[in-house]
Amino acid sequence: MFFSAISAIPAVIVMTLFLVHHGDALGPELDPRQPLSERGRDDVARLAAEAEVRGARPLVVWHSGKLRARQTAEAFWRACNALASFSATRDLQPDDPPDWIRDRLRGETRDVLIAGHYPHLARLLTLLTSASAHPGDALPSFPQHGIVALATEDEGKTWKEIWRIEAGRRIDS
Q: Is residue 6 part of a domain?
A: no
* Whether the Cβ atoms of residue 80 and residue 48 lie closer than 8 Å to each other: yes
- Give the pLDDT score at 140: 74
Q: Is residue 2 part of a domain?
A: no
Instruction: Report which residue type is found at 106.
Output: R
- The 8-class DSSP code of residue 2 comes to E
> In this predicted model, what pLDDT tens digit does every residue of 14-27 receive, in sequence order?
999 999 999 999 99
> In this predicted model, what pLDDT tens digit does every residue of 64-87 receive, in sequence order?
999 999 999 999 999 999 999 999
At residue 92, does pLDDT exceed 80?
A: yes
Residue ranges making up the domain that contains 126: 16-171
For residue 116, the domain's CATH number is 3.40.50.1240
CA 25 to chain centre: 18
Number of domains in the chain: 1
- pTM beyond cutoff 0.85: yes
- Side-by-side strand order, sheet with 160-165: 85-88, 60-63, 112-116, 15-21, 147-152, 160-165, 170-171
